[in-house]
Amino acid sequence: MKTLIENFSKQLREAIKIGANATIRNPQSAIRNIVITGLGGSGIGGTIVSEIVAGECPVPVVVNKDYFIPAFVNENSLVIVSSYSGNTEETIHAMEAALKAKAKIVCVTSGGKIAEMAKQNNCDLITIPGGSPPRAALAYSLTQLFFILKKFQLIRTDFEKQLNSAADLIDAEEKKMREEATAVAEFLHNKIPVLYAVDGYNGVATRFRQQLNENSKMLCWHHILPEMNHNELVGWAGGRNDLAVVILRNKTDFQRTQMRIEFSKKVFAKHTPHIKEIWSKGNSMLEQSIYLIHLTDWVSLFLAEKKGIDPVEVKIIDVLKSELGKN
C-alpha cells in the first residue's frame, strides 16, 4: 500500500494518457442526464467528480451505489459503469438494467464481467491497469470520468491541465504532506475520528472515511457543512474526550460557511480537546481535492502502521462475497 500511495502522481499522469487515447463514440441521442454507477473504491470517484463539475455540467449527475438504477434512465441517459475488477455484482446488475433501458453506456474497468458485457453489447470501454486494491486505483477511474464528460461536451474546463498541475503539486509538496499526515495519524491514534468538510467536498471526506475504514481498520463518521449545523451540531452535547475532530478546509470555502466552521469549533471544544484542521493547496477545486485525497491516504497508512496491521487486508469483504456466491 505504501508503494501504491507513493505512486499516486505517477498514476495520475498515466491515467491522463489512457483517457486521451480512449475511443468514445458520440451518442445517437442528446444526453439529458448522467448516472455514474459503482461502489467502494470504484464508486467514490463518481461522487468526487460530480461535485467538481456541478458548477458547469448542464445536465444532472446522479451517483448510483446500488443494484438498481433510477427510473428516469432511458436512451437520453449517459450511464458510466465504474468497476475496477469488473466483477462487482451490484454494478453488473445495474449495467444490465441500463442496457435494458437503452442508455448510452461507457465502462471503466480493468477487465472481468463488465469488460465482457461491454464488448458483447458494443459499449464504449476504457480499460485501466489491474492488479491493485480498487481504492488504490482511484486516479485511474476518477480521471476517465473527466475525459468521458469532456468527450460528450458536458464540461469545458481544461481538467487535463488541472490534473497535471495536481500531480506536480503532490510531487513538490510530498515531504511536507507526509510530515503533516504523520502528525494527523498520531493525533487520531486510539481515538474515534469525526471528519468534517464543506459541501462540495463530501466525496473527499467520504474517501478519507473509507480509507480509515479499510486501511486503518477504524470506525469513524463524517458530515458536511452547512448541513451539520442543522442537526449534528446539537448532537455534540453528547461529545466525549475520545472523539477527535478533523476538518478539511480550503481558503476558497464560502465566507459564511467558514464563519460556521469557526463557531462549530467552539462547540466541539466544549466536549473534546482534540480538534485539528487540514488545509488544502492548489489553484482549483480539482487540485485541492486531489491534494486532500493524497494527504489523507497517507494518514490512513500511517495509522495502520502505528496499529501494526496490514492496510491491504480486507478479509471480511472477501468472506461476504464468498457467502453471496453460494446463492
Residue type, position 1, single letter: M
Residue type, position 61, single letter: V
pLDDT digits (tens, 9 = 90+) for 215-245: 999 999 999 999 999 999 999 999 999 999 9
Within this chain, domains 2-157 and 174-307 share the same CATH topology: yes
| Mean of per-residue pLDDT scores for the chain | 95
Q: Tell me if residue 230 is catalytic.
A: yes
C-alpha cell at 254: 464560502
State the residue for C-alpha cell 491515467.
Answer: 15
pLDDT digits (tens, 9 = 90+) for 13-27: 999 999 999 999 988
pLDDT at 317 over 90: no
pLDDT digits (tens, 9 = 90+) for 276-309: 999 999 999 999 999 999 999 999 999 999 999 9
Q: Which of 175, 230, 266, 326 is catalytic?
A: 230
List residues bridging with 125 in a β-sheet: 107
pLDDT digits (tens, 9 = 90+) for 149-190: 999 999 998 999 999 999 999 999 999 999 999 999 999 999
SS3 88: coil
How far apart CA 73 and CA 195 sit, in angstroms, is 34
Residue type, position 153, single letter: Q
* Per-residue confidence band for 131, with pLDDT thresholds at 50, 70 and 90: confident
C-alpha cell at 52: 467538481
Give the CATH class of 2-157: alpha beta
C-alpha cell at 293: 485525497
Q: Which of 51, 90, 104, 214 is catalytic?
A: 214
* Per-residue confidence band for 326, with pLDDT thresholds at 50, 70 and 90: confident
Q: Tell me if residue 6 is catalytic.
A: no
pLDDT digits (tens, 9 = 90+) for 44-63: 999 999 999 999 999 999 99
pLDDT at 271 over 90: yes
Residue type, position 233, single letter: L
Domain boundaries, the chain: 2-157, 174-307
Percentage of the chain lying above the pLDDT 70 cut: 100
pLDDT at 1 over 90: no
Architecture of domain 174-307: 3-Layer(aba) Sandwich (3.40)
Cβ pair 143, 15 in contact under 8 A: yes
pLDDT at 327 over 80: no
Percentage of the chain lying above the pLDDT 90 cut: 89
